[in-house]
Amino acid sequence: MQANRHMAQAEQEIALLFRNYAPGLLGYSRMHIPSVEDAEDLVVDVFMAALENAKFATLSEKEKELWLWRVTRNKVIDRYRRAKTRQNVTLEHVAGSLFEDEMVGPEYAALQQEDYMDLYAHLRSLPPLQQQILRMRFGQDLSCSEIATALGKPENVVRVTLSRSLNLLRKIYRRRREEQESG
């Protein structure tokens, strides 16, 4: 019972000290630590250290204030030292690379392979001339005039065939997406 009363009194005293000194300690921490959250954590760590220190309760009011400021200063210095040896990176800096990592994973590769298989099946459903023109344009990276020369066809026929082929593939994919959304 006596221990509980002593503990409650110590907590009240720390709460009073927190109200009196935390704003100043936080301001000091914020001047030296760029992250608001890290500065707040540091001030909480200072008061936790005060709670854990057995001799803290025996200090006078002025000594407690000086102790809190000294510990805050030391913890700020510790943060500087740790920052030199350990690099902190914010989530915003690595967010882009998180998604890049997903694009090289096995799940992404499997999905991409599935998409390629679907495309291949759709291409096989096209007439041979359309297949050949698409293969030459996108597989061999030939221009329409080069394709026309290779096939012995007028360039405008190659352009129209290419356009119709791509529109047909778009229509197939659009229809499939609508079926998936409705089904």
Q: Kindly report the CA angle at 135 between 133 and 141, in degrees rounded to 5?
A: 95
Give me the helix-helix angle, 2-32 and 36-52, nearest 10°.
150
The predicted-structure confidence for 150-176, as pLDDT tens digits, reads as follows: 999 999 999 999 999 999 888 888 888
- What CATH code is assigned to 108-182? 1.10.10.10
If one compares 114 and 9, the residue with the highest pLDDT of the two is 114
CA distances from 151 to 56, 123, 167 (A): 91, 19, 22
Where does CATH 1.10.10.10 sit in the chain? 108-182
- pLDDT digits over 6-51, tens only? 667 777 887 888 898 899 999 999 998 888 898 999 999 998 998 8
**Which amino acid would we find at residue 98?**
L
Is 72:29 a contact under the CB 8 Å cutoff?
A: yes
Q: Which amino acid is at 13?
A: E
Q: Which tokens sit at 69? A: 């400021």
The amino acid sitting at 154 is: P
Rounded average pLDDT over 82-102: 64
What is the spatial distance between Cα 73 and Cα 66, in angstroms, rounded to a whole number?
10
Look-up of token digits 């020369």: 149
End-to-end CA distance of the chain: 68
* Fold adopted by 6-89: Rna Polymerase Sigma Factor; Chain: A (1.10.1740)
Domain with CATH 1.10.1740 in the chain: 6-89
